[in-house]
Structure 1
């Protein structure tokens, strides 16, 4: 009897002819038939191994495989056949029971000839660039049990339900990322033995049928008929728009191992019948509106490994008995509820969690800190925990942000990858954490911002080679920047809002991978070095706001092709605005990509760069959307000359602020090209002429200020420009709506046009002369120093900006 052939090209086994004998037959003592041996050699000779590592093979697939009459299993997955279609002759390999072509970069239409493989039980075409207008061809695969068409383009295959569910032997179906659209038909045939159905990341939009779909746009309630799917082991309804309650019939799914309804709008209580799911390993109901108490029946799920009921409205006390039988639990997430966890102080948990997220409003519990096991992941952020922490027995990830912890920074394990202690009241110095501990070469993220840390930043960063993101902002740090800090290969450095001083050290040039540099609100001085544009070519965010920098803006800044946010406001910078700003290509494009994401792959958590930006007169924090924001703020300096017309090329800017400088000349007409602009502030300069008519194109403006210049003429007719109040225009000679001052036919304010035109107006009235003289003397007694004493002017502008910000928040709040 001839033994069936099995061929796998991952790894690549066809390296030498001798190996042919071992793969031809299960019995290695039986030699290959000569014709089959030659067929395999032909097949091998048409393949290319560019990496010489037996992976990612390229080349052509030779039809010599047809000579292998007993070939039953063919695996060409994880290769690079990007230039070819799936060969049509595959449909002639009539002995195949197993065909795996996933992640092989095949492209084009799926050959209908595959429907001729009547013995096929396993078909995996997932992860390729394939498409099909109809799935009628699958009807010939009557023995098929496993089908994977994930990532194929099936948006024209309106018959997918009809043909796929005609295959009553299917146990697993994966149609994720397949561009399926529209409502889900009511007919699904006989799917009583189906265990896995994955339709995630499509555009299906009907009410929920009697099976599971995640990450679509499903609406309505979960039918109680879902209890009839007794063979289902994997039930995923996450990331939809489902409402109503979790049906009590869920307890009838005796084979269920995974239950995920996270990120919906479900309400009501968690049904007690959950405790009947003895095989359940994952239970995730997070990010819903579930209320009531947490059921004690959860404690009966002895197989449970992953439990997440965070971000709901659950209330009451969580007892030790809730966890009595959860001996296999590795992940516990329960934060952002109204629960109280009050175990006995001597309680020893029966589980050994690797990952824990809890919501606790109390002193850090003793039982928690004294757990004998080591966590991998600990997230207790955004609670009201207080007290001191001396040591954290966590190996990978710690987030204690937004609590009330005090005292010195805790000691941590040398294996820790992520440490986030933001927004607490930790005090003392950084010395113990940075210098008197084991090597920190593995740490990737260190956030200690918004605390009470003081003294200098220690000069002992030599062993922190793996650090990517460092945020020490909003503390009481002082001194100069540590020289060894520039040994790090940082992506982000945030030292804002401290008391640091000195010039920027030239060693900063070594931080070639910096994407974000925020040194704002300190006492740094000297000129902005030209090498920032030369060496830090990856910068996307540069904030030097509120320091003592002087000199000119270096033209090398224009070489920063990725720069999206430039803030040098509130300094002592002089000179002209560089015309080369039009070379800042990331600001000159309207196509924005939100790519400010960094991941620690070991713990599979994503970190968004976050930055404080001053836009629209107020300071806000941007995180996940930071990559979509573009801004330039040069306000409150001593910049002179005209606004270069080249600024109008920065059509991607959302915010532009040149206020509080000594700029002269007309406002460039080209600024009207910046049609995405939401905030524009040119106030408190010496600009003259008219507001350009092109400003009518700025349809997205919601913050606008040209006050205190020498502007004249009529305000351009535009819905947006007429929507701002008088404060945006005061201190000029403007007329027309929204101002009450009318314009003449020539666009001149009536009070100026009529000046000296009547005999009454020419009469001298001594009381008014005295009043006018008094006003002039008083006015210049205050204003003249602002023009001639630079330090007074900067302080005044800062104060005015601060008051304006408060007023803006007040008005915005009152208007809500």
Structure 2
């Protein structure tokens, strides 16, 4: 009996296990094999399909990643094979060909193949007739054609083909997808599909959302793109942004859909003119985006009809509107509007109390023309999350921000806000971004003020008068990504609280009065996250260790006392600024900086010959090695600087000739090789290859030969300095072709300068860079930086030029400085030199010029410095002219020159005699008798009456007193102005 029971138990156990396995394995075998065949056509480097296996333990395909089965029929109904973006840049996904086995999945209704790389869209996808969702977005197709068989998917409700590098010519098949509710063709080239709207979209009765942004490439066909009005009556969401369509293509049909549209995105088009009042007919509008269209004028009054508006984006236009009036206009949307974006316009007025808009979460008003103060108080607690008022002229005291307790972002940068900061932000416990740089804030900030800000990731307090007094043992509760504290007081010790900040990518503690070395723990915690490190303009000393761990960083260690050799930096360093320190040794450690665009090693103690490893520096834009002790020849490998904009190696000991490889510098604007030991002739290729040069400075070298006439082709040349060389020959007459010297204009010297800091993003921009040029004025070197764009100078002094000064030089009407001194020039000063009306500096001294001083020279009313000394000039110095204002040092050494201010009189001048001595007669004594005792008594009585007559009246009469002191004040102001003007004039002349 027991054996029978045992046998029955075993059979039931086997039967139970069999049934259990069958229950767990839902996958239909035919579909499982189809999926494995589909996988075989792909390269899957990221293991997206790693769970798809024929192994016994993976028999149930319904459990595979991305596969969804019906609970009722066990058929595969969903397939999600989308890839993904690694670090937001690199695509990670499947590659290869989509296998025809996909047809076996006949019950499929959801297919997502997005973010992959396939050969083509196969025609057989049109056989999956049960599909309701098809996502082919962000796919790189080798064959960029869409098969018309997709028109067979008549049940399709969602179709996404966006950003797949597809060109659609024939779009007729789209009109067959009459069940379509969502269609996205964003980024698809539709420039040859003019029938898309007319013959296709108008036939889609159920269409609810249409995405067509960035579709039209050629603007010339834009006017024919949108011409029909009978869209689907159910269309609610419309995006035709970034197509550069004019208003004539959009407005005629857009305003026919005021009854259905709730979301309209027209950003980045060309809707010139004002905003039409017809927008007010969109009575159910929730979101409107008109960003970056060049729209002018004010806000339409019809915007007051938007009672359901949730977001309004109007940034980057030219709108002029009074902000309080605009807020009043939007009154009906007080309880609905959540986002108001008005940045980069001409919005004026003061800041109203925005807390009356109870639903408002984001208020963006940066870069406008707002003035005035904050509201004295806020009406109520606000739900505001982002408040951006940067780049306005808002003044007054920073208010108590505690009513804005939900704030996560504050951006008040570059305004005129005053007062203290610490106690105003103490209660903002949700704050993540705090940007208040470049205001007039002052006071101390302690750990008490920051203790509650545990979510803070962005801190920018720079360019205020703030003092951070934080205990050395304080450990913040926040972990910052961006630390920008430039010009705040942190020192004299290096801030130890930063030891807890190990996740930052941007740190700027420049000009913070730090006066010791940087501790090792700081260098040790620099990680791959680092993008920007600025400790410039402190008094930091010590050496810098090798810094090899960062991804495309920028280092600014300038204007400190760092010493020792230049360390190793990450090979992808973008900018390295080490100027004004005491670094020594060679530059051999820089060999790996192949991505660098800004390298400034000027004013250090670097020595040795320049290595020949520059051929990989193809991105270099700004290159400065001046004020060091480099020797030897300039390496020919520097010719690889094909993008270089500014190069200076002034004040070194370089020798040899200029390498011919420099002719590759076609973008060069600024070249300064002065004060070296360079030799040879000035190459002619400078004028033919370096056509963009604005500054060419080669003074104090050993160049010889003549000036190549090819320099006359440099139409952009603004400063030419080849003084103190051995150049001979005549001055080229073709200098009159130097176009930038023939007219007075301001040139902006621009270059890639450092970085800009905007929110937590780091960006490189072409901002004004402080280029510096040394110009010799009256044998004194003066440095020009911020005013360099105003200077036009020609300096050929201290050479061996002979012959005459060509008359053509007077055609350089924009010249501010002309120095031809210390040469062997002969003949006369050009008679038309007075045409150079902007000339402020003129030095023709120590030549062999003869003849008289041209009368036109007296017309140069801007002339502040003039030196004609030690020539052979003759004749009279014109009287009653500008020439009389210069002292005799400007004329000495010309024996035949006469007249003031020289002591040498001209023939015919009358020599003044000494005044006759007074002769006293007997009557003198009688005249003295007039000053008797009675005279003094009368004088005293007269003074008494005069004093009390005037001042008594002032004491009694308020109006007289006011008039008198007002008169005295005006006299004082007049005297002050006259003294200041004349002092400035004398100072300018004495400085020059």
Choose the corresponding residue for 2:771, options 584, 601, 610. Answer: 610
2:399 is equivalent to residue 399 of structure 1: no
Following the alignment from structure 1 to structure 2, what is the Cα–Cα distance between the partners of residues 336 and 346? 18
The answer to whether the 8 A contact 1:330-1:353 is kept is yes
2:389 is equivalent to residue 246 of structure 1: no
Write the deviation string for residues 443-465 of structure 1: whole angstroms up to 9, x where unpaired.
Answer: 22211111011122123334434
The answer to whether the 8 A contact 2:134-2:158 is kept is no
Aligned twin of 2:386: 234
Q: Match of 2:344, SS? A: coil
Aligned twin of 1:503: 657
Write the deviation string for residues 741-775 of structure 1: whole angstroms up to 9, x where unpaired.
Answer: 8xxxxxxx9932416x99x9xxxxxxxxxxxxxxx
Aligned twin of 1:785: none
The TM-score with structure 2 as length reference comes to 0.66
Following the alignment from structure 2 to structure 1, what is the Cα–Cα distance between the partners of residues 570 and 347? 46
Alignment of 1:87-486 (within 5 A): 89=227, 93=231, 94-107=233-246, 111=251, 114-118=254-258, 119-155=260-296, 157-160=297-300, 162-164=301-303, 166-181=305-320, 183-188=322-327, 189-190=330-331, 191=334, 193-210=336-353, 213-225=365-377, 228=380, 230-248=382-400, 250-296=401-447, 297-319=449-471, 324-327=476-479, 329-340=480-491, 348-358=499-509, 359=512, 360-371=514-525, 373-374=527-528, 375-392=530-547, 393-395=549-551, 396-431=553-588, 433-435=589-591, 439-486=592-639
Following the alignment from structure 1 to structure 2, what is the Cα–Cα distance between the partners of residues 187 and 397? 43
Write the deviation string for residues 275-302 of structure 1: whole angstroms up to 9, x where unpaired.
Answer: 3333332211111121111243334323
The answer to whether the 8 A contact 2:569-2:593 is kept is no
Decide whether aligned partners of structure 1 residues 641 and 28 sit closer, same or farther in structure 2, where only a CA change above 3 A counts: closer
Following the alignment from structure 2 to structure 1, what is the Cα–Cα distance between the partners of residues 522 and 670? 37
Shift of 1:6: 12
Decide whether aligned partners of structure 1 residues 222 and 252 sit closer, same or farther in structure 2, where only a CA change above 3 A counts: same
Decide whether aligned partners of structure 1 residues 341 and 646 sit closer, same or farther in structure 2, where only a CA change above 3 A counts: same
Following the alignment from structure 2 to structure 1, what is the Cα–Cα distance between the partners of residues 625 and 704? 25
Structure 2 unmatched runs, 5+: 1-130, 161-169, 178-184, 355-363, 756-760, 914-983
Aligned twin of 2:683: 529
Shift of 1:424: 0.6
- Which has the higher mean CA deviation after the structures are superposed, 479-488 or 348-357? 479-488
Choose the corresponding residue for 2:672, options 509, 518, 523. Answer: 518
Aligned twin of 1:26: 157
The answer to whether the 8 A contact 2:795-2:819 is kept is yes
Write the deviation string for residues 106-162 of structure 1: whole angstroms up to 9, x where unpaired.
Answer: 23567265344323233333333322334412211233333332333443x3344x3
Shift of 1:369: 1.6
The answer to whether the 8 A contact 1:147-1:173 is kept is yes
Q: Match of 1:486, SS? A: helix
The answer to whether the 8 A contact 1:715-1:735 is kept is no
The answer to whether the 8 A contact 2:602-2:627 is kept is yes
Following the alignment from structure 2 to structure 1, what is the Cα–Cα distance between the partners of residues 745 and 264? 40
Shift of 1:572: 1.8
Shift of 1:225: 4.5
2:215 is equivalent to residue 72 of structure 1: no
The answer to whether the 8 A contact 2:654-2:678 is kept is yes
Q: Match of 1:132, SS? A: coil
The answer to whether the 8 A contact 2:151-2:173 is kept is yes
2:198 is equivalent to residue 63 of structure 1: yes
Following the alignment from structure 1 to structure 2, what is the Cα–Cα distance between the partners of residues 210 and 728? 68
2:800 is equivalent to residue 638 of structure 1: yes
Decide whether aligned partners of structure 1 residues 175 and 427 sit closer, same or farther in structure 2, where only a CA change above 3 A counts: same
Q: Match of 1:131, SS? A: coil
Aligned twin of 1:730: 891
Shift of 1:531: 2.0
Decide whether aligned partners of structure 1 residues 600 and 406 sit closer, same or farther in structure 2, where only a CA change above 3 A counts: closer
The answer to whether the 8 A contact 1:9-1:76 is kept is no
Shift of 1:390: 2.0
Choose the corresponding residue for 2:750, options 568, 573, 596. Answer: 596
The answer to whether the 8 A contact 1:527-1:552 is kept is yes
Decide whether aligned partners of structure 1 residues 69 and 684 sit closer, same or farther in structure 2, where only a CA change above 3 A counts: farther
Aligned twin of 2:940: none
Write the deviation string for residues 159-198 of structure 1: whole angstroms up to 9, x where unpaired.
Answer: 44x3445424333333333223364443513345544433
Shift of 1:401: 0.5
Q: Match of 1:569, SS? A: coil
The TM-score with structure 1 as length reference comes to 0.79
The aligned length equals: 733
Following the alignment from structure 2 to structure 1, what is the Cα–Cα distance between the partners of residues 228 and 861? 58
Following the alignment from structure 2 to structure 1, what is the Cα–Cα distance between the partners of residues 278 and 859? 54
Shift of 1:522: 0.9
Aligned twin of 1:805: none
Following the alignment from structure 1 to structure 2, what is the Cα–Cα distance between the partners of residues 651 and 208? 49
Write the deviation string for residues 637-695 of structure 1: whole angstroms up to 9, x where unpaired.
Answer: 22222232333443444433333333334444555445555544444444455655656
Following the alignment from structure 1 to structure 2, what is the Cα–Cα distance between the partners of residues 641 and 443? 48
Following the alignment from structure 2 to structure 1, what is the Cα–Cα distance between the partners of residues 498 and 136? 56
2:613 is equivalent to residue 494 of structure 1: no
Q: Match of 1:286, SS? A: coil
Following the alignment from structure 1 to structure 2, what is the Cα–Cα distance between the partners of residues 442 and 345? 33
Q: Match of 1:314, SS? A: strand
Following the alignment from structure 2 to structure 1, what is the Cα–Cα distance between the partners of residues 397 and 704? 63
Shift of 1:258: 2.1
Shift of 1:717: 7.7
* Greater relative contact order structure (CA < 8 Å, 6+ sep): 1
Shift of 1:322: 6.8
Decide whether aligned partners of structure 1 residues 324 and 87 sit closer, same or farther in structure 2, where only a CA change above 3 A counts: same
Decide whether aligned partners of structure 1 residues 108 and 459 sit closer, same or farther in structure 2, where only a CA change above 3 A counts: same
Q: Match of 1:660, SS? A: coil
The answer to whether the 8 A contact 1:346-1:367 is kept is no
Shift of 1:76: 3.7
Following the alignment from structure 1 to structure 2, what is the Cα–Cα distance between the partners of residues 616 and 100? 62
- Which has the higher mean CA deviation after the structures are superposed, 472-481 or 700-709? 700-709
